[in-house]
Amino acid sequence: MVKQISTDEADIISAQAGARFSLKRRFNSIYIILRHPQARMGILIILILIGMAIFAPLLSPKDPSQYAGIPFQRPSTAYPLGTDPLGRDELGLVIWGARISLMIGFGTAGLVTVIATTLGMIAGYYGGIIDDILSLIINLFLVIPGLPLLILLAAYLAPSTTTVIMTLAFTGWAFQARIIRVQTLSLREKDYVAASIVAGEGNLTIIFRQILPNMINLIVGGFIGTSIYGIAASTALAFLGLTNMSDISWGTNLFYAQNGNSLLLGAWWVFVPSGFLVALSALGLAWINFGMDEITNPRLRAERELRNVLKGTKIQQTRVTPVKPRGH
């Protein structure tokens, strides 16, 4: 027996469907990322690492820099990840190390995004002599060897977390700025930009209200990529001893592991956890970037939707090209 639906109920159902459609359209990028299986896994990984950094005082209440036991103790009930060459609890070092490592990664990404977006959009929008000067600066930073400059700055500046963030941002903003500039050159030729100019809007208003919203996906993708660079580069600097070694990060954990000859002694529990979390954070961010690729590339979305449609459908493969017979 078919249930009859009243007019009011039909209106309610129609309104709810319209609200869901409007919500999906408004937050379409979030829907696309959450639909991507690798992006979902990447978000979960990054949230776990961020949660570990935030709740480090609850997960490891003791001061991780203090002596805990005999050096190079194997993992046990008392010390789940053993002790390092200085006799410190390795589990506490790994948990607390997430704070500075992630702070440097996301802090570098934020600073690079602000610098690259501002300079890239100004160069691409204004053109002329302004574009020539800014492009010269961008190209100069692109051709300068990044690693030697990074090591030089880190060696001569006062070692601190802020110094590391400033150094990484100073050496890593140019590539993202070049991408933003090229995209701005393309967007400034659009009709809505011309309409804004005719309407008398100012240049900064057009840049940050008309052009910037159309590059959010590109900017977020650059932020994620720079976060990977910041975490990896800060770990490398700490491993070389060019940061404040009193700070606890995944990089300083690897530094003390290397100085204590942990690899030669077979003490895998000293260097594997920190190295694994550096790789895991980079993997999680890369997977999130895969989801961002579907937002910026409609062809990838179309291919995924086609795969979903054809899922479970058997298509017979043949080498013969079908030909429509002519009518007589």
All domains of the chain, ordered by start, with CATH? 31-56+88-295 (1.10.3720.10)
Average pLDDT over residues 180-198: 88
Instruction: State pLDDT tens for residues 74-84.
Output: 998 889 999 99
What's the pTM?
0.81
Q: How far apart are CA 202 and CA 158, in angstroms?
A: 42
* SS3 of residue 269 by DSSP: helix
User: Can you give the pLDDT at residue 312?
Assistant: 55
Tell me which of 57-71, 147-161, 163-177 is least confident.
147-161
More confident residue, 305 or 230: 230
Cα angle for residues 54, 56, 61 (degrees, 5° grid): 145
Q: In whole numbers, what is the pLDDT of the chain averaged over residues? A: 82
Q: Are 184 and 193 in contact (CB under 8 A)?
A: no
Q: How far apart are CA 108 and CA 87, in angstroms?
A: 32
Instruction: State pLDDT tens for residues 230-265.
Output: 999 999 989 988 888 888 999 999 999 999 888 888
Q: Are 85 and 270 in contact (CB under 8 A)?
A: yes
- Alpha-carbon dihedral sign for residues 142, 145, 151, 154: negative
User: Can you give the pLDDT at residue 274?
Assistant: 94
Tell me which of 49-63, 128-142, 167-181, 206-220 is least confident.
206-220
**First vs last C-alpha separation in the chain:** 53
Give 200's pLDDT tier (boundaries 50, 70, 90): confident
